[in-house]
Structure 1
Amino acid sequence: MVDDAITDEMIREKICQMFLESTKKSKKEYIGIEIEVPIINLNKEAVDFDIVHRVTESFKNHFNSFEVEGIDYDGNVYALRNRENDDVVCYDCSYNNIEFAMGKEEDLFTINERFSEYYSFIKEEFERHNHTLSGMGINPYRKYNNEIPIPSERYLMLYNHLKSADNYSDSLMYFHDYPGYGMFSSASQVQLDVPYDDLIENINVFSKLEPIKALIFSNSVLLEDNEDYVCFRDNLWEYSTHGINPHNIGMYDIEFDSIQELVSYLESLNIYCVMRDGIYINFPSMPLKDYFNSDSIVGECYCKGSYRNIEFKPSLDDIEYLRAFKFINLTFRGTLEYRSVCTQPIKDSMSVAAFHVGLKNKTNELEKLFFYAPVFHDCYNSTELRKLLIRTEIPSSIDKDELYGLARDVLDLAKDGLKERGLGEEIFLESLYKNVNERTNPGKRILDSLKEGISLEKIIKDYGDL
């Protein structure tokens, strides 16, 4: 043993301290939103990173409340933070993706106003150089891009981990051929403050929502390579090195009865990276308990342009680097993060948060809907149903009238929840009602538009307009 003092009980206590303690505190319930957006070079060439850096500088000069948050090894800024409200504008994984991580607020209109201002400015700056932004979950021009990670500790470590699939040759797992998928796939994530007493019910019920979310939000089409899916993003996560332990990704597949069961689930996760002296180290993904039962671990760290082996001893504080990428994540901030939705057409960006906020206090009503929904009792569990509904064509074995009727009932509940807030936020659900009424989603619209002869350039423009 590396340290006989590190017992299972201590691991459990540390997990509780890091993930659960802040959910017990009485506090206002805020909304946090992250919107990732692909950068597209309209010349059908690789995104010009020099242009990206010039746009970043222009943004910083225009919005003088933003300060530099992250600088890469080449001296380029990859993250800016607003000192007044904690909004962050940064690049995600590579300079092919930009992310708007909006500081917490109590209402969606405030967030939308600031997001729209930032987005409009940056898009206009990019378009001066024949680049643009668009609300598509997979970069439609990804084949032209250079898949180069941001040269920083975190992103070099992450890419090194994702391209290490060959190191698991003894595994029976299938790995896809897109280790750089973080450089061309984009999501829209929501974080909500959920009180401790509501965590289990929220996770259980929102897990059952995942098939409906696939039905109405899917927007990750892998053009030319695999158009059988409108949300190929699920596969990118599941069949990567993040998915070596299925508990680290996707859905929970179980219904929790208690906080203790949730903690046990967190104990079952794999760990693949830590930091020592400000340097990231990644190592073969392994179960958390195996990690703490090891005398030492041999990993890799980036040093002066190459990777070198490094040996280190596990520490209980390494739980800080325990990373799960579930569709619903309990975070160190004491929030629940809902992360299964693709980036939406930009004008509909607030629909994702509106959906979750509206349903947050409707778990009892949702549970009743699911209990009486035939589609949840006809041989499929929630995971199986989502896997079917991320495909371009819904199987004929599923009654589409019942399915879309359930989706409409869910939206009605979300609308009621938003109306009870009294802020008028239900307006942000209009695009979702349209999806249900037309029995489509943004991904299907892309494929249908292309079949109708509408150019990809026109789709990019339409999905990028506010």
Structure 2
Amino acid sequence: MSIPQSGGGPIERPEQLAEFLAKGCKPKENWRIGTEHEKFGFVTADHAPLPYAGINQIMTRLIDRFGWSAVTEGDSLIGLKRNGANISLEPGGQFELSGAPLENIHQVRDELQNHLDEVAAVTADMGVGFMGIGAAPIWSEAAMPVMPKGRYRLMTDYMGRVGTHGTQMMYRTSTVQVNLDFGSEADMVQKMRVALALQPVATALFASSPFFDGALNGHRSWRSRIWRGLDDSRTGMLPFAFDPGFGFQRYVDWVLDVPMYFVYRDGKYIDALGQSFRDFLKGQLPALPGEVPTLSDWADHLTTVFPEARLKQFIEMRGADAGDQAHLVALPAFWVGLTYDQTALDAASDLIKGLNAETREGLRVAASEKALAGEAGGVKLHQLALEAVKIAEAGLIARGLGEEIFLQPLIENVQKGEVQADRLIAAYEGEWGRDLTKVYAATRL
């Protein structure tokens, strides 16, 4: 989840909305890699979710020992920042590192290792652990702590009105994503289409959430299933992105039709649930009558849509479950390989060109249910993943930085036809003797 955005002053022309996105265009030499990952904290003595008091203590120690700066909301410590990176809190206390914009996957690996080392150092005497897994395997919603952030209080109420799984997403899921740049509108369009069409492959390759409410849930990625029951107005595969003429303005038009959550003013979240940003542009927002939005308000609103690939001034790849350390690094390696080399990007475009909207959506469902064993519209996810990983590997090799080594977990997944979720299920049915508490040690970062 995002922190308040800084976008700019008053919106005086409707064209500024698309122009804001277009400002993300960068020459290739300035393209960067920003990786975000979430993890569940737990108390090792009884496997209870880590309460805010414990999270606050961890963040305070990180400030004292490692030079992080505090991010506050009111009197509450809600995050940290340092050298372009942020640590933030998800609604149920998921501890998120939003990494700095980096040049290559080796730096991503080092950043992740440094973060885990720092967290381990400050929690050594606390009896605390962290899990890399896509959904909380045992905890009930009632057991989850609630973080002191106004945005989440508003969202929690709204989620219960517009879907069936919204609060499950907020409080009991964890993801890993990568944020990538584009060079032009045409480059953005090509990357968005590849990103959307291949998110089911990422969901399958990184699936790690086969347990929920203390039992098997019938899916390999329950996190992905949750997103399909959240809020159809702001989620999904964006079939319009594959229509002729798609570009910045068409994405703006879609976002404008998504109901608002809030407006951020003077350190507080003002309830604008269900209201229209189009009305806001006219000075007719019920929450702030007579006031027109700023570009910062627009940047905030862009963070309240949750498609499988999200466009801001970069593209967010959002389809993967959190997982073990190797998979946390493999996710940016996969997407960088597919999109940062033009030959690879063209090959990926060829790979997806025969997939229609029905097949893309069918693959999304199949990936959540069966991971690499899924299929839809005559397309087998295992074969699609095999080809995508090959293209990603070639793209990384072409970069000449030795980054292809970070794809090894995915290469092994496609060779064996199994993913993290399959191995967790096998352990649960076998060596764990159906004792699901073993999952805390098995997924500990």
| TM-score, normalized by the shorter chain, greater than 0.5 | yes
Q: How does 1:274-353 map to 2 (within 5 A)?
A: 274-292=263-281, 295-298=284-287, 312-317=289-294, 318-322=297-301, 323-331=304-312, 334-353=313-332
What corresponds to 1:192 in structure 2?
180
Q: Which runs of 5+ in 2 are unaligned?
A: 1-10
2:244 alignment counterpart = 257
3-state SS of 2:321 partner: coil
* TM superposition shift of 1:445: 2.0
Which residue, 202, 226, 229 being the options, matches 2:219? 229
Tell me, what secondary structure is at the counterpart of 2:396? Answer: helix
- Residue 441 to residue 163, structure 1, CA distance change in 2 (3 Å): farther
- 1:162 maps to a residue whose letter is T
Q: Write out aligned runs for 1:368-387 (5 A).
A: 368-371=350-353, 376=355, 380-387=358-365
1:400-419 matched pairs, under 5 angstroms = 402-419=380-397
Q: Does 1:460 align with 2:437?
A: no
The question of whether the paired residues in 2 share the 8 Å contact of 1:418 and 1:424 is answered with yes
Residue aligned with 1:157, SS: helix
Distance 1:67 1:404 in 2: 44
Identity %: 18
Normalised to the residue count of structure 1, the TM-score between the two structures is 0.81
Give the conservation status (yes or no) of the 8 Å contact 1:159–1:179.
no
Q: Which has the larger radius of gyration?
A: 1
Distance verdict in 2 for CA 1:358–1:296, change over 3 Å: closer
Letter of the 2:59 counterpart: T
TM-score, with length taken from structure 2:
0.84
1:420 to 391, 398, 414: 398
Which of the residues 52, 55, 60 maps onto 1:52?
55
Which segment is superposed worse, 187-196 or 206-215? 206-215
- 1:279 and 1:313 map into 2 onto residues whose CA distance is 19
**Cα gap change, 1:204/1:144 in structure 2, threshold over 3 Å: closer, same or farther?**
closer
Q: Which moved more, 1:428-437 or 1:40-49?
A: 40-49
| Structure 1, gaps ≥5 residues long | 1-7, 299-310
| Aligned residues between the structures | 419
Contact 1:297 1:314 in 2 (8 A): no
Instruction: Say what the alpha-carbon RMSD is for the aligned residues.
Output: 2.9
Residue in 2 aligned with 1:81?
A: 81
Deviations 1:283-316, CA, capped at 9 Å, x for gaps = 2324433554673414xxxxxxxxxxxx544513
Distance 1:221 1:288, change over 3 A: farther
Matched position secondary structure for 1:262: helix
* CA drift at 1:462: 3.4
Letter in 2 for 1:134: M
| Cα distance in 1 for residues equivalent to 2:384 and 2:122 | 43
In 2, Cα distance between the equivalents of 1:384 and 1:271?
29
The 5 Å alignment of 1:1-400 reads 10-11=13-14, 13-23=15-25, 28-42=30-44, 43-64=46-67, 66-68=68-70, 70-75=71-76, 77-82=77-82, 85-94=83-92, 96-126=93-123, 128-143=125-140, 146-151=143-148, 155-165=149-159, 168=161, 174-176=163-165, 179=167, 181-196=169-184, 197-223=186-212, 224=214, 227-240=217-230, 243-245=231-233, 248-254=234-240, 255-258=242-245, 259=247, 260-292=249-281, 295-298=284-287, 312-317=289-294, 318-322=297-301, 323-331=304-312, 334-360=313-339, 361=341, 362-371=344-353, 376=355, 380-392=358-370, 394=373
Distance apart, 1:229 and its partner CA = 1.8
Q: Distance in 1 between matches of 2:395 and 2:409?
A: 17
Letter in 1 for 2:182: V
Question: Do the aligned residues in 2 keep the contact of 1:230 with 1:392 (CA within 8 Å)?
Answer: yes
In the alignment, is the contact (CA less than 8 A) between 2:207 and 2:320 conserved in 1?
Answer: yes
Cα 1:261–1:97 shift into 2, 3 Å: closer
